[in-house]
Amino acid sequence: MDEQDRVQWPVIGQQPQGSPKSPSGLKWYLVLIAGLFLIACFVFSTYYLTHDDTRGVTVVRLEGAMVTGEVSDGDSIGSEVVGRELRAAADDPMVEAIVLRVDSPGGTPAAAQEIIGDLEYAKTKKPVVVSMGDMGTSAAYYVSAHADRIYANPDTFTAGVGVIWKFSDISRWMSNEGYNVSVIKSGSKKDMGSTSRPLSSDEELYAQKIVSDSFETFISDVTSQRKIDRSSIDDGRVIRGADAIKINVIDELGNLHDAIEGAKKMAKSRS
C-alpha cells in the first residue's frame, strides 16, 4: 500500500483539501448574535419603561424579628441576609439609591448592630431611605435611625426604644408536681435564668445592669443620629407615625412609593 492508499482518520472541523470555505456558518453565527442583542435591548428597555417608579432604586426588605445569621423564614430575618443585600445595592453602579422597607417589631441588639454596620457602608455610596410598614419598633427603629430619611404611615407603630430581658420561674409548679432539679455549677450565676428557681437579689441587680447598659448604648446612638429629646422616648412606648413626626422620630408620612420618590430626589441632589 503506497502513501496515497493509507487509511486516515478524519480531523474534526477540518475542511477537505481543495474545497472552498463556506461563509454560511459565520453568517448565521453573526445573525444569531445580532438577534440576541436585539432581544436583550428589547427586554432592557421594556423593563425600564414599565418600572419607571423604581428605576435606579433598590428596595431591601427587613421584615420579621431580627436575629444574627443567615435566616429568612417570614417570622425572622437574619442580619447577614439584610447586610448582604445592602452592600450589593451599594456596590451596584445601576443603583442610585436604596430604600430599606422595615416591617419589624425589633430583635436582638447584636443583629441591629450588624445591620447598622452594613447600612453605614451603604450610606457612603448612595442615599438610604427607610420606609416603615405596620411596625418599625425597638431594634428595628435602632437600625432605621441610621438612615438618611424615615417615612412611615400615620398608624405605623414606631419608636419603642428600650431593652427587655424576661425570666420565668416555674419552681412552685415543679414542687407541686414532684419535680426536683439538681444543678452542679462552676459559678454562682452559671444557671442564672433557669426556670427551676427564682433569680437571687444579686442576679436581679446583675441583669438590670446588663439591660441598663444596653439601653444606654441604644438611646445614645439614636439621639446621636436624630435630633430627638431623650425624655420623649426613654419610657419605651410605641408611638404612632402621626405623632412620631411631631417629635422627629420620623421625617415624613408616606408609603413605600413616597419613600422611593424621596430616595430618587435625594440621589439627584447628590449627583
User: Does pLDDT of 40 surpass 80?
Assistant: no
- Predicted local distance difference test score (pLDDT) of residue 28: 74
pLDDT per residue over 189-213, tens digit each?
999 999 999 999 999 999 999 999 9
- Predicted local distance difference test score (pLDDT) of residue 270: 82
Stretch 211-235: mean pLDDT, rounded? Answer: 97
**Residue entry with cell 415624613:** 252
- Predicted local distance difference test score (pLDDT) of residue 17: 53
DSSP-derived letter for residue 255 is: -
104, 138, 144, 264: which is the annotated catalytic residue?
138
Question: pLDDT-derived band of residue 43, with 50, 70 and 90 as boundaries?
Answer: low
What's the pTM value of the predicted model, to 2 decimals? 0.79
DSSP-derived letter for residue 130 is: E
190, 209, 246, 268: which is the annotated catalytic residue?
190
- Predicted local distance difference test score (pLDDT) of residue 55: 63
- Predicted local distance difference test score (pLDDT) of residue 44: 55
Q: Which residues pair with 149 in a beta bridge?
A: 129
- Predicted local distance difference test score (pLDDT) of residue 24: 66
Sign of CA dihedral 147, 152, 155, 156: negative
User: Does pLDDT of 14 surpass 90?
Assistant: no
Q: Percentage of the chain surpassing pLDDT 70? A: 83
- Mind listing the domains of the chain with CATH numbers? 51-160+237-270 (3.90.226.10), 163-233 (no CATH)
Q: Which residue has the higher pLDDT, 46 or 177?
A: 177
Q: Point out the least confidently predicted range of 4-18, 93-107, 152-166.
A: 4-18
Q: Rounded distance, CA 84 to CA 75, Å?
A: 19
User: Does pLDDT of 51 surpass 80?
Assistant: no
Known active-site residue 138:
yes
User: Does pLDDT of 74 surpass 50?
Assistant: yes
CB 34 within 8 A of CB 75: no
Q: Tell me how many degrees the CA angle 121-127-132 measures, rounded to the nearest 5.
A: 100
Q: Rounded distance, CA 267 to CA 258, Å?
A: 14
**Residue entry with cell 493509507:** 6
CB 119 within 8 A of CB 82: no
Stretch 227-252: mean pLDDT, rounded? Answer: 98
Half-sphere exposure of 120 (CA within 13 A, CB side): 11
Stretch 168-197: mean pLDDT, rounded? Answer: 95
What are the angstrom distances between the C-alpha of 13 and each of 4, 8, 142, 183, 221? 22, 15, 65, 79, 69
